[in-house]
Structure 1
Amino acid sequence: MKTKNIKYSLGLGLAALAFAACTKNFEEINTNPNSPTDAPMTNVLAFGIQDYAAGFFDVWGDMNEPSTYAGHLAKIQYIDEAQYVFRPNTVENLWTQASRELKNLEIVVGRAAEEGATNMQAAALTVQSMIWQTTTDRWRDVPFFDALKADEGVITPEYSTQEEIYPELLNRLKTAAELFNEEGIDDLGTGDLIYGGDTENWKRFANSLRLRVAIRISDVNPELAKQHIEEILGDQGTYPIIEENSQNALLWWPGDLPYFEPWASDQFDPSNARDDHAVSNILVNQLKSLDDPRLAVYAKKATADGEYRGAAIGPNDLVPAELTMYSRIGAKFRDDRAGFTPFMRASEVKFIIAEAAAKGFTTGTSAQVAYEEGVELSLAENGITDADAYLSGPAAWSGDISDIYLQKWIALFKNGNEAWAETRRTDVPALSPATGTPYSGHNRPPFRYPYPNTETNLNGQNSAAFVAEVEDSFWGKQMWWDIRTGVN
């Protein structure tokens, strides 16, 4: 597959305009090797979706770090990343990937607007907003309003704070939903790797992402959060949301090299076959305490003795001979080369609604009802159809908002980006830092991700004040929406 790269950036990234993919065969869409800015918009949409999933949901962008920071996974070999000993090139690569995805989608948004392709404009804006949220949740303050203008001569963009970025994301996702409401006649084409051209589901996705953004800031700007949440939930005709698992926003991978699902690729790609991850003891023990039937789906039994046993995160004393004592990741999530990358699920949406109701927002339902619906949807997604016994046991609604936070954390398995954000926001479960980390004096896992060295080297005038707020690479200034006290 031919590609041609153009320099663009958050700072100085790459925009690879000429990548394409499709749900059945990623290589069916050909690229234009001579004029990448004339590549079909559907190709560029496909690239934005695939590149984001390949970068931020793979072993480097998720399994090694966010999913261990969130307490879902543990590394049992080559454990450096779980101890927060990061690789600078990984940080650089993720920054570059975000840059090119965002710029490519910016081009699609602009061209679609010029051509009156409202569906394409809305879809690209939706995906771009999702990537922006992941980016700011990883680094906090980043170049934003000035970020994607390298082709206009802005190669050292100014930084925007997360406090400025979040309200704008809410506005953009509302714009995307309203563009879908115009019922444009343009076809998203084979580059729609999520919904195969179903614009009604895209509309649900845009509105559900707006709920995600809003609930994230509900403790620091409750008025703005309430405004957006009540607007959506108060007018489901105009602002439908993801309500069923059939509407989940998932990328299903073809399953042929080089397009293995990223978690499976880490295990099965013959050039990089690894066995470095187990399910964490935090998650396994939590599921056991709830008598949670998802345990058998999330984890495999340890081959040594047939028990479910999670591994600790970050210890230096793991003995290779004892690796058979730990539960590996369940087959549904790790063994299917044609598996899925989860961008957003119905269960998450229900837990958002439950939290909003618990905080007194008008949602049209009660916190308990939405909580139980979220649990049922997560169980059903994992092949468990009878939720009554589970919801009558230790997982029964107690009236405490922490019930919602805990079940949401469990349901987010395989989306380390969101699980890490939620543990930083809610402190549920309250996690200790990795035991083997060389960074002492901290009582929680990382607050943030290190800035790449290129931001200091190439955009130092704008980045210096923000880099100075970082402590020990991973701590320092908390996310805007992280109002926890006594954490460091």
Structure 2
Amino acid sequence: MKSIKILAIAAIAGLFACSDDELRTYDSIQKKDAVESVNDPYLLASIIKKTTLFYQKMGYDTRILPGAVQHMESNYQSGDNFYNAFRAPMTDMYTAMDILKLVDGSIGLAETRNSKTHQGIFRVFRVLLFSFMTDFYGDIYYSQALKAREGILYPKYDKQADIYAGLLKELDDANALMDAGTEPVSESYDLMFGGNKEKWKKFSNSLKLRLTMRASAKLPDAGARLSALAAAPLLSDPTENASISYIGTLGGDNGNSWTGGPLNWGTIDNFDTRRPCKTLIDKLTELNDPRMQIWFAPVEKPWTSDPARNGQSFTTTDPNGYTYTSTWEYIDRKNKDIAAYATKDILLDSNKVYVGFVAGMLADWKNGNGHYDVAAGGTVGNFKVSKFSKLFRENKHPLLKAQIMNSDEVQFILAEAAAKGLISGSADTYYRKGISNSLLRWGVSQEAVNKYLAQPGVALPSDKAGQLAKIADQKWISLFLVSSEAYLDLRRTRLPDIFKNGRLGGFQFPERYRYPGNELGQNKEAYDLGVGGLSPAVDDQYSKMWLLM
């Protein structure tokens, strides 16, 4: 039966790839077979997996967004350390559209069977993916998208303001459908919420909260909208997250495995090119943050200014039981090799066990924090900067998730809204719950959470600007590996103020993705109108869309 379902899903996907003549020839037979052979739960499982993996790829696989938000730096091929990839047209819009084809096909099948609960859930994904497209590009096709079978081969671009209005209404419609639906959601095929319809409604409301806050500067009634959402069921428990776990492998499909694990990256080189940014390491160090030991490894050969420490080795065991050996190295300026690289600015991290790669630094791994013994270090080695922890070299682990939205993000949105006076309630309460949820999500004990929250450096100040800065700091940390949202939030709030860190002083932060090159060649009229909606009307990474004007 499962093989029949897989073939039927392939048939549905094929409907969207065929020419008009082929559609007329095969549509009725394939659609009939699909309706009879594919159930809503199976379609739901496919959509959940495709969407979460798409988001997680942006959070770890590609270094574009993690680099832009200074969570990750590259010590090999360094363009992502200073926004270089934003210069070229981006095709992620088409990746989202490929998933949307399956989503819209699934909505149609669910309508045929009057499966209202599943219609509502599928519509949540529809909003999520269209919001991704407009948030990153600006004006995009929406009202005419996915209508090739109706003869619209070159869809027009809708204005971003109209898209946002449509998306927010679609989420209302999604909730109404889920309320009206009577069919159960399969516990087995619902990879995200285990068949719990109420959690799907919470996700829908939380997504609406995210989008409303993103557009709040453009909405005259933003306070009323946000207040209504603050009173609605939202993702609030540390375990209520729009994410899925990895299972290692299934039937030879490595897509079920964490990207950085041996099943996907057979050699260690790709893994070792990813290094934590100094911006993030310094903030975690400042706050005595227990997530640092979970996420990152101690430096292999940390610098020391104490000659008595030279050559002394020590072992560190992190909270997940992974062990690391480090050996102190004295900054001996009589050694010409050390003297050549041990400059003042990159030795600020001496006597530290956790060290990050400087933001905006060229991926000359020989210079990263004074690394000089390149022969021993290999092609991408660097003994002087922390790596990602061994957790991220697993094929699966309870802490490794493909993430779209977590409950801590929801709490930080509410904290920001309260600090701005847009909603009632305590900004501090929301803020502390956001921190707590993030720490618990990464396996930190409740005792350690309480200790962390008791630190004076974590407390919210009394002034509004100070509160917003603190909330932004913690939200930015919590969005580690949820890089699409970390980027969009940094772009919207300009907090934390990290734009001139390290060696980024001469670089401008990008405001958007450029449209895919095929749009200029195949849908030029719509493309030209889309570019006309930017300020200035130029398809580059610095032009601003409606949300930012």
TM-score of the two chains, using structure 1 as the length reference: 0.83
Q: Paired residue for 1:245, among 238, 259, 276? A: 238
For 2:266 and 2:86, the matched residues in 1 are separated by 23
Q: CA offsets, 1:338-360, max 9 Å, x none? A: 53111111111111111111122
Shift of 1:107: 2.0
CA separation of 1:188/1:457 partners in 2, compared to 1, >3 Å: closer, same or farther?
Answer: farther
Structure 1 residue aligned with 2:14: 6
In 1, are the aligned partners of 2:86 and 2:541 still within 8 Å (CA)? no
- Aligned: 1:157 with 2:155: yes
SS in 2 for 1:447: coil
For 2:89 and 2:392, the matched residues in 1 are separated by 23
For 2:114 and 2:168, the matched residues in 1 are separated by 23
Shift of 1:369: 1.0
SS in 1 for 2:239: helix
Shift of 1:394: 0.8
Structure 1 residue aligned with 2:57: 58
For 2:114 and 2:289, the matched residues in 1 are separated by 49
What is the identity, as a one-letter code, of the residue corresponding to 2:255?
Answer: Y
Shift of 1:246: 1.8
Structure 1 residue aligned with 2:275: 278
RMSD of aligned residue pairs (Cα, Å): 3.2
SS in 2 for 1:361: coil
For 1:407 and 1:246, the matched residues in 2 are separated by 19
Unaligned runs of 5+ residues in structure 2 are: 1-5, 18-29, 303-325, 327-352, 367-373, 375-380
For 1:228 and 1:59, the matched residues in 2 are separated by 30
Q: CA offsets, 1:151-197, max 9 Å, x none? A: 21111111122222222221111222222222522434644221121
For 2:257 and 2:539, the matched residues in 1 are separated by 30
The number of residues matched between the two structures is 453
CA separation of 1:474/1:298 partners in 2, compared to 1, >3 Å: closer, same or farther?
Answer: farther
In 2, are the aligned partners of 1:300 and 1:331 still within 8 Å (CA)? yes
Structure 1 residue aligned with 2:349: none
- Aligned: 1:147 with 2:145: yes
- Aligned: 1:389 with 2:388: no
1:122-141 map, 5 Å: 122-141=120-139
Unaligned runs of 5+ residues in structure 1 are: 10-31, 484-488
Structure 1 residue aligned with 2:27: none
In 1, are the aligned partners of 2:56 and 2:404 still within 8 Å (CA)? no
Q: CA offsets, 1:423-469, max 9 Å, x none? A: 001111223379889xx96432x111121111111111110243464
In 2, are the aligned partners of 1:450 and 1:474 still within 8 Å (CA)? yes
Shift of 1:314: 4.0
Shift of 1:226: 2.4
- Aligned: 1:464 with 2:532: no
For 2:70 and 2:409, the matched residues in 1 are separated by 18
CA separation of 1:102/1:41 partners in 2, compared to 1, >3 Å: closer, same or farther?
Answer: same
- Aligned: 1:318 with 2:364: yes
Q: Paired residue for 1:371, among 412, 431, 434? A: 431
Identity, in percent, stands at 24
- Aligned: 1:478 with 2:544: yes
Shift of 1:272: 9.4
In 2, are the aligned partners of 1:72 and 1:413 still within 8 Å (CA)? yes
For 1:53 and 1:221, the matched residues in 2 are separated by 29
What is the identity, as a one-letter code, of the residue corresponding to 2:112?
Answer: E
- Aligned: 1:443 with 2:508: yes
Out of 59-68 and 391-400, give the one that drifted further: 59-68
For 2:216 and 2:83, the matched residues in 1 are separated by 29
What is the identity, as a one-letter code, of the residue corresponding to 2:543?
Answer: K
In 1, are the aligned partners of 2:40 and 2:106 still within 8 Å (CA)? yes
CA separation of 1:396/1:415 partners in 2, compared to 1, >3 Å: closer, same or farther?
Answer: same
For 2:263 and 2:277, the matched residues in 1 are separated by 18
For 2:521 and 2:491, the matched residues in 1 are separated by 29
Q: CA offsets, 1:248-269, max 9 Å, x none? A: 1111122114224444258843
CA separation of 1:71/1:99 partners in 2, compared to 1, >3 Å: closer, same or farther?
Answer: same
In 1, are the aligned partners of 2:301 and 2:383 still within 8 Å (CA)? yes
Structure 1 residue aligned with 2:389: 330
SS in 1 for 2:255: coil
Q: CA offsets, 1:372-404, max 9 Å, x none? A: 111111111122223333233211111322211
CA separation of 1:359/1:441 partners in 2, compared to 1, >3 Å: closer, same or farther?
Answer: same
In 2, are the aligned partners of 1:265 and 1:273 still within 8 Å (CA)? no
For 1:35 and 1:266, the matched residues in 2 are separated by 39
For 1:55 and 1:293, the matched residues in 2 are separated by 28
1:44-443 map, 5 Å: 44-58=43-57, 63-86=62-85, 91-92=90-91, 94-188=92-186, 190-223=188-221, 225-234=222-231, 239-256=232-249, 257-265=253-261, 268-270=264-266, 274-275=270-271, 276-305=273-302, 306=326, 307-316=353-362, 318-319=364-365, 321=374, 323-333=382-392, 335-338=394-397, 339-363=400-424, 365-384=425-444, 385=446, 386-391=448-453, 392-399=455-462, 400-432=467-499, 442-443=507-508
In 1, are the aligned partners of 2:67 and 2:83 still within 8 Å (CA)? no
CA separation of 1:170/1:128 partners in 2, compared to 1, >3 Å: closer, same or farther?
Answer: same
CA separation of 1:337/1:274 partners in 2, compared to 1, >3 Å: closer, same or farther?
Answer: farther
In 2, are the aligned partners of 1:52 and 1:101 still within 8 Å (CA)? yes
For 2:175 and 2:269, the matched residues in 1 are separated by 41
CA separation of 1:33/1:110 partners in 2, compared to 1, >3 Å: closer, same or farther?
Answer: closer
For 2:44 and 2:140, the matched residues in 1 are separated by 23
For 1:473 and 1:330, the matched residues in 2 are separated by 39
Structure 2 residue aligned with 1:26: none
Q: CA offsets, 1:240-294, max 9 Å, x none? A: 1111022111111221142244442588433896122111111111111222222
CA separation of 1:327/1:162 partners in 2, compared to 1, >3 Å: closer, same or farther?
Answer: farther
Shift of 1:97: 1.7
| Displaced runs of 4 or more, over 6 A | 87-90, 433-437, 470-473
TM-score of the two chains, using structure 2 as the length reference: 0.75
Shift of 1:131: 1.6
For 2:404 and 2:59, the matched residues in 1 are separated by 17
SS in 1 for 2:404: strand
In 2, are the aligned partners of 1:140 and 1:162 still within 8 Å (CA)? yes
